[in-house]
Amino acid sequence: MSDERPTVGFVGLGAMGWPMAHNLHAAGFPLVIRDALPDVEDRFAAEHDKAIKARTPNDFRPVSTLITMLPDGGIVRDAVLGWGIAAASSPGTIVMDMSSSDPTDTLELASRLESFGLKVVDAPVSGGVARAVTGELAVMVGGAADDVAAVQPVLRVLGDPARQFRTGPLGTGHAMKALNNVVAAATSCVVAEALAAGQRFGLDPGTMIDVINASTGRSFVSELNYGTEVLTGRYGSGFRLGLMAKDTRIAASIAVAAGIDAPVIALASQRWAAAVRELGPAVDQSRAHQAWTGAALTRGLADEAVLADEAVLDDEAVLDDEAVRESWTAIGIRTDIPHPARVYNYLLGGTDHFAADRDAAQMSLSVMPEVRDSAQGNRRFLARAVRFLSREAGIRQFLDIGAGLPASPNTHEIAEPGSRVVYVDNDPVVFLRATAVMEGSTSAVPVAADMREVDEVLSAAGKLLDFSQPVGLLFAASLHNIPDSGDPAGIVARYLAALAPGSHVVISHVTGDFGPSQMAEVTASYAARGATFIGRTREQVTQMFNGRELVSPGVVQISRWRPDDADPDPHPDRVWAYAGVARA
């Protein structure tokens, strides 16, 4: 009995929280869990025999350490005080906030919890999902010495002891996390500007990064952020733009509270806030340079062969070069007709588009400005839908039809570790870019095929996916590019016929229900350009599910489908599209 582990409470089973809680359970700690999504709680409890779902605040009474892993300090406060956990907890319980919170929120929380006899330790982490899975997180720990000592058995499971830093009194852990991140954030601004300036001067961004990383300018940002993510077009650091912007805002407030003149920190906070306004909070933080400079930063930008092979297509001066256009034509790329994947990429702030794509997108925005909100809302919906399929439906295989150009977070980045994903698109630019991004992966592969060639797609996808097991079939913003004569509902039906029981289908689709005249004008303009873009009614979108059982809340406006409070649509009523998920 002397080896029996104390009970730990865990609030927040998200991308980081789930593997952290899993590791505690594997180390023998009984758990009391709570998450905003009841289905997530149910699945975690079903998979972990020493974990119980808290049905009332009193279930937390046996807990000696309560861990919170949530988006920010305000949500932590609401979770601990709002539901009544604090009032139900035993005096002496230590609340360990491992979120990236504002230290002022931490101190306020501690003051309010003192009346319940509870203590607080702030222990934000660094290392991302990968190190959360392996239990090798870096941890910055603030709090009273006795309290920090008391939580060591838990911290040794979650993080690498060699990377645990005792930062000082309560609040210093969260302050350190924000100040560390603002150093990286400010560095990222400078690197982006330097690369853009050098590129205009005739330098290759890849060569510049190689020189910087071999010289005094070397940093984590230049090596991993720009070297690994930006120049490869991968954009998969795993840290959302909105979270980095939040940390820079916290750092700026710390500087103000400290009474120091910190113009660089203030400017970094402003630049990251501007990037969020331009690109949205959900994209990977490594994309921020696109909002600041608009430059396409890729190795060998001046090399025409690389331009063709890597699909780096943003420099208009190069686009006008006839020899380069001929090389694109040789590999099947039409530069004179807008393609949905490239138009969508433009609307999301990407760089892989031609003049015809930009013209179509700008036409759409001039007639129906809600197009950009709808594109961004679709990305958020896709992330929510894939998380639902992964966490609640237990699906580990995905067939993403009409996937479009890679845009972090991609399906394979959202799905549970070990999932397999096949991306299908008929645009050679998508295939080239996706091949570069997924090079070396054995679990995520692109397929160059037309979604209407169902047998061809299934045959190619079957090399990675096992169709005798459940599959998540995704049609995210792709069916509105199929004309009525192409029978989009019939296409879906043919794919559904190939799926095993337990599979699910996801569909999102633009609509003219909220602006019939605007949508009709956009549809006509696309047709004049040789492309298809058709808004359909809610009833028509529902018919595409072919009578399958819809998951609650059914087919609804995209922003209303299980909205995520941590990443809400900033203008939900401007997302002119429907979406739904059904059991196949």
What is the 3-state secondary structure of 159-196? EEEEEEEEEECCCHHHHHHHHHHHHHHHHHHHHHHHHH
Whether residue 98 is found in the same domain as residue 120: yes
Active site residue 177: yes
Question: Which pLDDT belongs to residue 314?
Answer: 37
Write the CA distances from 12 to 20, 138, 385, 522, integer angstroms. 10, 19, 19, 43
Question: Which pLDDT belongs to residue 295?
Answer: 67
Question: Which pLDDT belongs to residue 134?
Answer: 85
| pLDDT above 80: residue 580 | yes
Whether residue 353 is found in the same domain as residue 256: no
What confidence tens digit (pLDDT) does each residue in 399-457 have? 999 998 888 788 998 998 889 999 999 888 788 778 777 776 778 999 989 999 999 99
The verdict on residue 2 lying in a domain is: no
Whether residue 124 is found in the same domain as residue 237: no
The count of structural domains within the chain is 4
The verdict on residue 309 lying in a domain is: no
Which residue(s) pair with 166 in the sheet? 141
Question: Which pLDDT belongs to residue 265?
Answer: 95
Question: Which pLDDT belongs to residue 442?
Answer: 77
Report which DSSP code applies to 4.
P
Whether residue 354 is found in the same domain as residue 407: no
The mean pLDDT value for 141-162 works out to: 96
Question: Which pLDDT belongs to residue 316?
Answer: 38
What confidence tens digit (pLDDT) does each residue in 109-120 have? 999 999 999 999
Question: Which pLDDT belongs to residue 255?
Answer: 92
Q: Helix H segments across 201-261?
A: 205-213, 220, 241-258
Whether residue 482 is found in the same domain as residue 544: yes
Mean pLDDT of the chain: 88
Better-scored residue on pLDDT, 318 or 567: 567
The verdict on residue 303 lying in a domain is: no
| pLDDT above 90: residue 476 | yes
Whether residue 145 is found in the same domain as residue 183: no
Pairing of strands 31-34, 8-11: parallel
The mean pLDDT value for 295-308 works out to: 49
Predicted confidence band at 187 (pLDDT cuts at 50, 70, 90)?
very high
Whether residue 142 is found in the same domain as residue 242: no
Catalytic residue among 53, 119, 177, 246: 177
What confidence tens digit (pLDDT) does each residue in 23-70 have? 999 999 999 999 988 888 998 999 999 999 999 999 999 999 999 999
| pLDDT above 90: residue 126 | no
Domain-ending residue, one of 260, 292, 324: 292
Domain that holds residue 363: 315-367
DSSP run (H or E) holding 66:
strand 65-68
Q: Identify the residue whose tokens are 């402003």.
A: 270
Whether residue 486 is found in the same domain as residue 562: yes
**Percent of residues, the chain, with pLDDT higher than 70:** 92
Whether residue 221 is found in the same domain as residue 261: yes
Better-scored residue on pLDDT, 571 or 506: 506
Q: Compute the distance between CA of residue 313 and CA of residue 307 in angstroms, rounded to an integer.
A: 7
Predicted confidence band at 133 (pLDDT cuts at 50, 70, 90)?
confident
Question: Which pLDDT belongs to residue 144?
Answer: 97
Question: Which pLDDT belongs to residue 238?
Answer: 67
What confidence tens digit (pLDDT) does each residue in 7-34 have? 999 999 987 899 999 999 999 999 999 9
What confidence tens digit (pLDDT) does each residue in 530-542 have? 899 999 999 999 9
Question: Which pLDDT belongs to residue 513?
Answer: 92
The mean pLDDT value for 510-529 works out to: 92
Question: Which pLDDT belongs to residue 211?
Answer: 95
- CATH number for position 269: 1.10.1040.10
The verdict on residue 19 lying in a domain is: yes
Whether residue 158 is found in the same domain as residue 193: no
Write the CA distances from 11 to 21, 251, 348, 404, integer angstroms. 9, 25, 33, 35
The mean pLDDT value for 341-352 works out to: 83
258 Cβ contact partners less than 8 Å away, ≥ 6 residues apart: none
Predicted confidence band at 323 (pLDDT cuts at 50, 70, 90)?
very low
| pLDDT above 80: residue 157 | yes
Whether residue 444 is found in the same domain as residue 567: yes
DSSP string, 338-376: --HHHHHHHHTT-S---HHHHHHHHHHHHH-THHHHHHH
Angle at alpha carbon of residue 206, lines to 203 and 208, rounded to 5°: 55
The mean pLDDT value for 267-290 works out to: 88
The mean pLDDT value for 143-161 works out to: 96
Question: Which pLDDT belongs to residue 74?
Answer: 86
**Percent of residues, the chain, with pLDDT higher than 90:** 62
| pLDDT above 90: residue 499 | yes
The mean pLDDT value for 69-98 works out to: 93
- CATH number for position 426: 3.40.50.150
- The whole model's pTM is what? 0.54
Question: Which pLDDT belongs to residue 283?
Answer: 81
Question: Which pLDDT belongs to residue 299?
Answer: 66
Better-scored residue on pLDDT, 129 or 397: 397
Q: Phi and psi of 116, rounded to 5°?
A: -95, 0
Whether residue 279 is found in the same domain as residue 413: no
The verdict on residue 114 lying in a domain is: yes
- Weakest-pLDDT range from 169-183, 229-243, 388-402, 500-514: 229-243
| pLDDT above 60: residue 306 | no
Q: Residue type for 99, please?
A: S
